[in-house]
Structure 1
């Protein structure tokens, strides 16, 4: 069975070699907003449990690079949620993860520099930082909504994926 790829092939802007895709979001950032339809974050969450088992991933479009980043970030979120017994604690933990400092493509600590291109100028670099920060904040909020059940306890069907590494990579670096 092949890995799931992004279905969002219509985009107007790229930064580095990543597409800037519209998001259904409440957070400020450079991504265009959409109202009710599914976006790349929904797609990443829907395909996460299948895609996380792949060690290799063929990139077919710039939108796939966004999908890869979100999938890696979801893994980081699940690792953090392992030690959060309630939704409020989990929400706080994921918010702090989303706004914390993170490496960009081209930085020495970024795990997939062979797949992502470094932004060309300082303006593009800032655009990439803002876009990834917006992706991280919105993904954190949606992961929290999906992982915690109505009774406030984490779902074992999500938490069991916390130790899986998509493409044997991690955004937090080795040992985490």
Structure 2
């Protein structure tokens, strides 16, 4: 059974591409560098990453079909990193997790193509060659990381509608069970 790929691979024609990643639109409550989607009611790349995190984390191989798959890989690895941070601090409530993970999302990280990035072999291709491209990619990824944290904490891991989270006080065991799974055997380590 093959891994699940991004449905955005076909829709990247109108998106800017920097360093082999498509700067895809997504809806956000946070002001940032990502373009706004044409239809905010449709699932975006972050919704797709959250939906595909658990099934894709079972795969060690992933064939990249386009630049949207690279964004999907990055977000899945970031979600795994966030779950690891939640597991390390077992006493976090939803607000504490949101605060700490937002700080983590804003922290320094290496971009694809830079020497410190752990997945350069997967993201083969040109690094963002100039300062403008690097800044645009960093701003986009920071915005995507912030929105991913907000949706992960509020809608999935600490979802108050989920009976297993006891009103949002504890992390969902159905999400935390995947904290040690490494998609493609890799982790961001950021």
The answer on 1:169 being equivalent to 2:169 is no
Identify unmatched segments of 5+ residues in structure 1: none
2:44 corresponds to which of 10, 27, 39? 39
| TM-score between both structures, scaled by the size of structure 2 | 0.87
Contact 2:86 2:97 in 1 (8 A): yes
Q: TM-score, normalised by structure 1?
A: 0.93
Q: 1:112 aligns with which of 115, 119, 134?
A: 119
1:29 Cα deviation after fit: 2.6
Deviations 1:58-78 (A, max 9, x none): 000110000000000000110
Contact persistence 1:19–1:63 (CA under 8 A) = yes
**CA distance in structure 2 between the aligned counterparts of 1:92 and 1:24, rounded to whole angstroms:** 21
Matches within 5 A, 1:93-172: 93-116=100-123, 117=125, 118-145=127-154, 146-150=156-160, 151-152=167-168, 153-172=170-189
CA distance in 1, matches of 2:24, 2:57: 22
- For structure 2, which runs of at least 5 residues remain unmatched after alignment? 161-166
Residue 36 (structure 1) shift? 2.0
Match of 2:4? 4
Provide the secondary structure at the position in 2 that maps to 1:28.
coil
- The whole-number CA distance in structure 1 between the counterparts of 2:159 and 2:76 is 21
Given that 1:81 and 1:93 are in contact with CA atoms closer than 8 Å, whether structure 2 keeps it comes out as: no
Q: Secondary structure at the match of 2:103?
A: helix
